[in-house]
Amino acid sequence: MKTLNSKPQAGLQGHLTVPGDKSISHRGIMFGAISQGQTVLHHFLTSADCLSTLAAFQQLGVPISRSGDTVTIEGVGLNGLSGSSTPLDMGNSGTTTRLIMGLLAGQTFDSTLVGDASLSKRPMRRVSDPLGAMHAEIETSDGHLPVTVHGRQLTAFNGRLQVASAQVKSALILAALQADGPSTIVEQLPTRDHTERLLNAFGADVQTASDGITITVQPHPTLHGQTMTVPGDMSSAAFFMVAASLVPGSKVTLENVGMNPTRTGLLDILQRMGGQVTVVPRSSKGEPVADLTIETAQLKPIEIGETAIPAVIDELPLVALLAAKADGISTIIGASELRVKETDRISAVVTEFKKLGIAIEERPDGFVIDGRQPWHVTDANLDAHNDHRIGMVLAIASLLVATPLRLAGEESVGISYPNFFADLATLLPKEVGQP
Ligand code: S3P
């Protein structure tokens, strides 16, 4: 149990560089591993999830070393991985699991994937079914981990995906690199496109049509190792963007934040709600980055539907928090994917926000929140539900409450942001009597 910081006597102030992007850190390891030559990743996210990817590729015979947040990968090429006689441990990481399934499906060896209790409840048929259409042979445990992937020669994919998921799309793209001809993958809605951008930077030919949802992949590219700096993670920056917007008298600058347009949904929503954000783009070799300065603002309510969801999928608990302080009723729908994240995030947000007296109603695919009702704490014992993003959103919510709150499961923040509490502390005012 951790005692959370309660309402500070003044606003949040200062500058912060958030850790590297989780999605890009995972992919940097994977694509470096299947390239020829060396890949160096600076500002790699050294969180538990990304370290699961690092360890899995070491186990597949790829030499990888790490010094602080710099990772060096000696690529073995698309045909150079070697099978592991022991299961690959995916930890808590859905991204590692889904992407590696696509990659391993086209290899010449068999692999078994296992994960922790939360990951073992998450759906895997969304990946094994479309891979099956490429003649992949994947055995799941009733749609879940443990999964055994029997490496096979794959046929090309030509079809539409059933869920709007970058993880599923990326699995298919990685399988398509090994198929017997060009593949065409059609998404439901555009999702984060780090796989497409990064693979092309490593030398692949992955093209997205002007409709934004049709992706063509040419098989058997020769990929070449790259040196790159991972941008700051928008999904981590988002916690401080929301904190600065809501805690009166705040002004916070977040440096070098990734601005890939498939990831900036929270920024767009905050601005539509009347948030005060100044965006100063920085020059970068790879994905776009910017410095963001956020100041406190009175927010208006918002309505969000299905098409806006993929660009803000991981930030929806934070959108719910913004809505809980906006001067009206907000509706977030079309977000049923939240039910199959590290925990059921709709149910977790509703349960925990109700402890703070927030007027929130659960919908099958989202929430309705009345921000005009004053909060009143009915239960000071909050629970992260073993989910990093739930733990962090509750730590931000506690800054809006005078009563000291406690958080169970605070260690879950290490999945994506091990230094979260220390970074937050640097922005908080020094209370009277504190050194
Ligand atoms: C991710 C995609 C998203 C996101 C996850 C990371 C990725 O999942 O929630 O945190 O790196 O591809 P889905 O694609 O399943 O929505």
pLDDT tens digit sequence for 408-427: 999 999 999 999 999 999 99
Asked whether the predicted pLDDT for residue 192 surpasses 90, the reply is yes
- Per-residue confidence (pLDDT) for residue 430, from 0 to 100: 86
Residue nearest to atom 11 of ligand 1 (CA): 23
Average of pLDDT values for 265-294? Answer: 97
Q: Do domains 2-20+231-427 and 22-229 have the same CATH topology?
A: yes
Buried b / exposed e over 81-110, threshold 16 CB at 10 Å, is bebbeebbbbbbbbbbbbbbbbbbbbbeee
Average of pLDDT values for 318-339? Answer: 98
Distance (Å, whole) CA 69 – CA 42: 6
CATH number of 2-20+231-427, picked from 3.65.10.10, 3.90.25.10, 3.40.718.10, 1.10.3720.10: 3.65.10.10
CA 257 to each of CA 39, 160, 231, 253, 334: distance values in angstroms, whole numbers, following the listed order:
22, 32, 6, 10, 27
Identify which of 30, 167, 187 to mutate to test ligand 1's pocket (most ligand atoms within 8 A of the CB). Answer: 167
The CATH number of the structural domain formed by 22-229 is 3.65.10.10
Q: Which atom of ligand 1 lies at the shortest distance from residue 166's CA?
A: 14
pTM for this prediction: 0.98
Q: Is 121 helix (H, G, I), strand (E, B) or coil?
A: helix
Average of pLDDT values for 203-210? Answer: 98
Asked whether the predicted pLDDT for residue 303 surpasses 90, the reply is yes
Distance (Å, whole) CA 372 – CA 370: 6
Would you place residue 37 in the very low, low, confident or very high pLDDT band (cuts 50, 70, 90)? very high
Q: Which atom of ligand 1 lies at the shortest distance from residue 22's CA?
A: 11
Q: Which atom of ligand 1 lies at the shortest distance from residue 99's CA?
A: 12
* Amino acid letter, 345: R
Cα-flanking dihedrals φ and ψ of residue 252, to 5°? Answer: -130, 135
The Å distance, Cα 267 to ligand 1 centre, comes to 18
3-state helix, strand, coil in the chain (%, to 5): 35, 25, 40
Asked whether the predicted pLDDT for residue 435 surpasses 60, the reply is no
The Å distance, Cα 153 to ligand 1 centre, comes to 27
- List binding-site positions for phosphoenolpyruvate: 22, 94, 122, 167, 345, 389
Residues having CB closer than 6 A to ligand 1 are 23, 95, 165-167, 170, 191-192, 313-314, 337
What percent of the chain stands above pLDDT 70?
A: 99
The Å distance, Cα 170 to ligand 1 centre, comes to 10
pLDDT tens digit sequence for 342-392: 999 999 999 999 999 999 999 999 999 999 999 999 999 999 999 999 999
- Per-residue confidence (pLDDT) for residue 431, from 0 to 100: 72
Mean confidence (pLDDT) of the chain: 98
- Per-residue confidence (pLDDT) for residue 432, from 0 to 100: 60
Asked whether the predicted pLDDT for residue 434 surpasses 70, the reply is no
Residue 67 CB neighbour total at 10 angstroms: 7
Residue nearest to atom 15 of ligand 1 (CA): 165
Q: Which atom of ligand 1 lies at the shortest distance from residue 341's CA?
A: 9
Asked whether the predicted pLDDT for residue 188 surpasses 90, the reply is yes
DSSP state of 4: P
* Amino acid letter, 267: L
The Å distance, Cα 98 to ligand 1 centre, comes to 10
Average of pLDDT values for 47-73? Answer: 98
Confirm whether 116 is a catalytic residue.
no
The Å distance, Cα 224 to ligand 1 centre, comes to 25
pLDDT tens digit sequence for 147-178: 999 999 999 999 999 999 999 999 999 999 99
The Å distance, Cα 313 to ligand 1 centre, comes to 8
Identify which of 103, 187, 313, 342 to mutate to test ligand 1's pocket (most ligand atoms within 8 A of the CB). Answer: 313
Q: Check whether the bond before 146 is cis (ω within 30° of 0).
A: yes
DSSP string, 174-236: HHHTTBSS-EEEE-SS----HHHHHHHHTT--EEE-TTSSEEEE-SSPPPB--EEEPPBPHHH
Residue nearest to atom 4 of ligand 1 (CA): 314
Domain regions of the chain by residue span: 2-20+231-427, 22-229
Q: Is 262 helix (H, G, I), strand (E, B) or coil?
A: coil
Catalytic residue among 21, 193, 233, 314: 314
- List binding-site positions for 3-phosphoshikimate: 22-23, 27, 165, 167, 314, 341
- Per-residue confidence (pLDDT) for residue 433, from 0 to 100: 53
